[in-house]
Structure 1
């Protein structure tokens, strides 16, 4: 497998803040957690839309206008500034047309600070991070690089390591309901640049050159423009 590697420079001394997300649908006395153990790309897309509605309703989670976040569509969120825990009800009247077709009840979005590694110092040299912080660091970078493409719904993610195009024109249908889509494998690796060790975005792009077009690359860090 041939891969391309793009070094990532961290140009800030500010930390990012780690939060847990729970998106809950209440049906009578039963609570259904929508983002628990769901890996389907469409489910993740629903959760991103619901979180965005909660973010807007709560005035940026009670933060300032410069607050940015990245979110994996499940339970992990990183923010550019710290904020108080949030408990936001998103009314069905405010749903997008897509959400109205999927849900008929209000949803509660809970965003709470993590018990560990809540404050992540991303400017620390990655080879000097404890293992648990290094894992969080890699996950944050993987989300920050790809969040713009996901929010534009140009790509969907099946897991943290693969992105697939949402363009249905290039889908190849196989027997048994299997689809083959344009996609790429990605990851965060450590590289030695001759002076120190730094993180790099690694992608298997040999068959998929057009994924890394200039327009896509320039949008990588839209959500965290100073990082």
Structure 2
């Protein structure tokens, strides 16, 4: 087992804005929340597609063309600029073919500012952040580094700490329906570079060279735009 650590430098004074996401399927008088806490990788993929459709329909959530976001497929979204709360109905006619097979009704996407830590000062030295801000900071970086890997659908995620390859050719099937896939454990930690304390992206996998070379060859690890 090998560990690779990549220090992250934040070269901006801009802030990041934290939002809650709820994606709801309305069936009669019932409301089914699709992005529940224990969603599987396929559910998260659906939610990312639905959020993208809502983003486009609402003209970038009412922001300008430069607004960017990262989203975990559940309830957590970070944006590069602040915008008003959104309540967007995604019509089934606009679904992708994959979504049409999964859902037969319209979906409501709600994006609301968080009650706490709505504004993240990511340029603050991480060792000087309050604990709650530091936890949000770590989650933001973990998403920002790996968002493209998920969007290009070469990797999927079960939680914030693990990425798995979607390549079905190398899947090993075990008894009981268990699958073994190429993947990696990942996380954000603090490192001392001799001058100051900074965040670093840490990958713990075997063999990590194979996975990282695959990711970088398709540009899967990209920084949050302008950060």
Give the TM-score, by structure 1 length: 0.96
User: 1:181 and 1:153 mapped to 2: Cα distance?
Assistant: 15
TM superposition shift of 1:215: 5.7
User: 2:223 and 2:203 mapped to 1: Cα distance?
Assistant: 20
User: 2:155 and 2:210 mapped to 1: Cα distance?
Assistant: 13
TM superposition shift of 1:63: 0.4
Native 8 Å contact 1:18 1:76 kept in 2 = yes
Any unmatched runs of 5+ in structure 1? none
TM superposition shift of 1:219: 3.4
Gap change, CA 1:218 and 1:152, over 3 Å in 2: closer
* Superposed CA offset, 1:8-29 (max 9, x none): 0000000000000000000011
SS, match of residue 202 in structure 1: strand
Native 8 Å contact 2:152 2:220 kept in 1 = no
Native 8 Å contact 2:149 2:221 kept in 1 = no
* Superposed CA offset, 1:69-92 (max 9, x none): 000000000000000000000000
Gap change, CA 1:221 and 1:182, over 3 Å in 2: closer
TM superposition shift of 1:211: 1.6
Native 8 Å contact 1:71 1:78 kept in 2 = yes
Aligned residue pairs, count = 227
Give the TM-score, by structure 2 length: 0.96
Deviates more, 1:114-123 or 1:29-38: 29-38
Native 8 Å contact 1:69 1:223 kept in 2 = no
TM superposition shift of 1:110: 0.2
Native 8 Å contact 1:162 1:186 kept in 2 = yes
Deviates more, 1:93-102 or 1:217-226: 217-226
Structure 2 residue aligned with 1:223: 223
Gap change, CA 1:99 and 1:214, over 3 Å in 2: closer
User: 1:217 and 1:126 mapped to 2: Cα distance?
Assistant: 30
User: 2:83 and 2:197 mapped to 1: Cα distance?
Assistant: 32
* Superposed CA offset, 1:76-134 (max 9, x none): 00000000000000000000000000000000000000000000000000000000000
TM superposition shift of 1:37: 1.8
Native 8 Å contact 1:70 1:223 kept in 2 = no
Deviates more, 1:201-210 or 1:74-83: 201-210
Question: Which 4+ stretches in 1 moved above 6 angstroms?
Answer: none
TM superposition shift of 1:217: 7.3
* Superposed CA offset, 1:136-167 (max 9, x none): 00000000000000000000001110000000
SS, match of residue 3 in structure 1: strand
Native 8 Å contact 1:144 1:220 kept in 2 = no
SS, match of residue 59 in structure 2: coil
Any unmatched runs of 5+ in structure 2? none
What is the CA RMSD across the aligned residues, in angstroms?
1.4
User: 2:100 and 2:187 mapped to 1: Cα distance?
Assistant: 34
User: 1:126 and 1:220 mapped to 2: Cα distance?
Assistant: 25
